[in-house]
Amino acid sequence: MTIIHLHRNRSSLYKRDLYNGMNYLGKRDETFDVMKGIGIFLMVTGHTLGPDSPLNKFIYSFHMPLFFLVTGYFFKCTTIVNSIRSSYHRLIKPYIFICFIYVTIKIALQYYHSQKLHIDPDAIIFGMGPGWFLLALFWGRIIINCIINNFPNLYILVAFIVSTIPIVLHQAHPIIMPLAIMEGLSCVLFIAIGYFSKQNNILNKMQDHNKTYIFISLLLWLNTSINGKIEMSACTYKLWIIDYLGAMGGAFLCYYIAKHIIRNSLLLTQLLTIVSLYSLAIYSFHIIDFCIPIWHHLSSFISQEYQVGAILFGRLLLFYPIVVITYHIPFLYNLFIGMHTPKRFNYKLSNK
């Protein structure tokens, strides 16, 4: 028997955060938190490998849809005012904060290098790098809330129609709208499907034919990865609805992998749980890392063949200080985690 005691010891950040994650998990299926941890790792990996990597099609085929599906799974309908208010606090305020940090760093770097002050407003207005996700999720949550409230029996169909709008427009003539509005429309179907899965207990019903669904999901995901293309930041779905199915297939495979991790690796489950709990902070600071070229200095002392691996290793190492800083600074903790999330208690976890 393995027993982990988590006490009110301020000297142990890992244990405090571990308890925090476990208390959070006690209210929901921990599988989804492991999935989010995997998704964050894949997101950083995909951005590091770059568009020319053959692995990127496999990663991009489902890793961002995964977050929208999980969002839908835990989505709760409310009034339009409450939906806007909660989405603003949860998503827009972190985006504004990250934009402020980005502008501050850019000004400091330009001053240090004696360059003319110039900040490109388009970088902020049109979704700063990976920041499009926060804006798209903001719109997606509000739109799906309106759809479910007004079309409770037809929300899947309406969500499908809404999500095809940016795809059709992109096929005819690409339209770039500010604040990731088009991306927000395209993600609505994924949120609706996640919501439908929870409301109809789909995942539990699939357990009886697990191997069959795993095989089908694998085929759909591989088809999208090899023959299709998903680039949500550009509203690109090469195979249209087939790509949506492939993304769902990849997400279900991730769900199955997360279940396997939980059954076989307590340590990895705990680590991915912490990454999940701090995923918004990690994602937000990764936006700055992505938009400001700090890693190109590695070229002066690391050979080119090892640079990608070194950058990926460095970015993953940044997870720890991000968690530490977020935990210890109340403003950041409230911004990324939430002021109502408790920080300390005693917890006992046993694994037989």
pLDDT tens-digit readout, 89-114 = 999 999 999 999 988 888 888 877 77
Band of the pLDDT at 17, cuts 50, 70, 90?
very low
Q: Where are the beta strands (DSSP E) in the chain?
A: 2-6, 230-231, 236-237, 347-351
Does the pLDDT of residue 50 top 60, yes or no? yes
SS3 track for the chain? CEEEEECCCCCCHHHHHHHHHHHHHCCCCHHHHHHHHHHHHHHHHHHHHCCCCCCHHHHHCCHHHHHHHHHHHCCCCCCHHHHHHHHHHHHHHHHHHHHHHHHHHHHHHHHHCCCCCCCCCHHHHCCCHHHHHHHHHHHHHHHHHHHHHHCCCCHHHHHHHHHHHHHHHHHHCCCCCHHHHHHHHHCHHHHHHHHHHHHCCHHHHHHHHHHHHHHHHHHHHHHHHHHCCEEHHHCEECCCHHHHHHHHHHHHHHHHHHHHHHHHCHHHHHHHHHHHHCHHHHHHHHHHHHHCCCHHHHHHCCCHHHHHHHHHHHHHHCHHHHHHHHHHCHHHHHHHCCCCCCCCCCEEEEEC
Phi and psi at residue 231, in whole multiples of 5°? -135, 90
Query: pTM for the full model?
Result: 0.88
Does the pLDDT of residue 185 top 50, yes or no? yes
pLDDT, mean of residues 218-225: 97
Looking at per-residue confidence, does 28 or 344 come out higher?
28
349 beta partners: 4
Band of the pLDDT at 201, cuts 50, 70, 90?
very high
Q: Which two tokens stand for residue 39?
A: 């998704």
According to the model, what pLDDT value does residue 335 have? 95
Q: Which two tokens stand for residue 153?
A: 């029996």
For the chain, give the mean pLDDT.
Answer: 85
pLDDT, mean of residues 125-129: 78
pLDDT tens string 22-41? 444 445 568 999 999 999 99
Band of the pLDDT at 123, cuts 50, 70, 90?
confident
Band of the pLDDT at 307, cuts 50, 70, 90?
confident
Band of the pLDDT at 339, cuts 50, 70, 90?
low
According to the model, what pLDDT value does residue 8 have? 38
Q: What is the DSSP string of 287-304?
A: HHHHHS--GGGGGGTS-H
